[in-house]
Amino acid sequence: MALLEARDIVAGYGETEILHGVSLVVNAGEIVTIIGPNGCGKSTLMKAVVGLVPVRSGAVTFRGVDITDHAPERVVRAGLCYVPQSANVFPSLSIRENLDMGAFTRGDDSQARIDEMFRLFPDLARRPKARAGSLSGGQRQMLALARALMLDPRLLLLDEPSAGLSPAIMGLVFERIRDINATGVALLLVEQQAREALQLSDRGYVLSGGENRLEDRGPALLDNPEVARLYLGG
């Protein structure tokens, strides 16, 4: 049974339909990347999965349970966390306070989990009282990842985690994504840095015009001449 399955999703904003029957699957423990041109519906698909955009038709199941159009807080409690591209931390709060906010539904002492996050993201541990708004772009992205992980999700959805970062910091973010996956968390990425993302992905999807165009293993998509020409600069 798939961890996450989106079947024939039709969704959009107002009168505009963005997704025209898109499907995808994420299995337990996988890293799956969605690539495609700007405006093809990648972010809309993620938002439809987590209940931020209404699903007009189709269905989303998570761990075998239909979560179509569930409120985002219900989706989070089910074990699926979403990290948007921007506005993904509380800038006026400290690093520690952001992590505390991330643990809002745990119902237990969150200190042990915070300690785990500080081991996974040592840069955050060095200055836990620093305001999130004072952090660099890379540090804010690390904090956003750590905050999402506070609830021990089974699946993490990341929308453009490398956006606006230098190549060195981008490499560190992808390294942390591998580390997160090694703990057993599955990840679904939307990423413009297609080559780097596919290199670490078990599988990938290519969207175009709000529809599925290609699906294959990450390495196979990297070797696909059409994908290389259109999306990898090759």
The 10 Å Cβ neighbour count of residue 71 is 12
* Tens digit of each residue's pLDDT, the chain (234 residues): 899 999 999 999 999 999 999 999 999 999 999 999 988 999 999 999 999 999 999 999 999 999 999 999 999 999 999 999 888 999 999 999 999 988 876 666 788 999 999 999 999 999 999 999 999 988 999 999 999 999 899 999 999 998 888 888 889 999 999 999 999 999 999 998 889 999 999 999 999 999 999 999 999 999 999 888 877 765
- The whole-number pLDDT of residue 198 equals 94
Contact between 123 and 142 under an 8 Å Cβ cutoff? The reply is: yes
CA nearest 75: which of 182, 161, 153, 177? 153
- The whole-number pLDDT of residue 232 equals 73
Bridge pairing between strands 55-62 and 80-83: unpaired
- The whole-number pLDDT of residue 103 equals 81
User: If you ran DSSP here, which 8-state letter would residue 94 be given?
Assistant: B
pTM of the predicted protein model: 0.92
**Phi (first) and psi of residue 120, to 5 degrees:** -75, -30
Which residue's structure tokens are 């989106």? 6
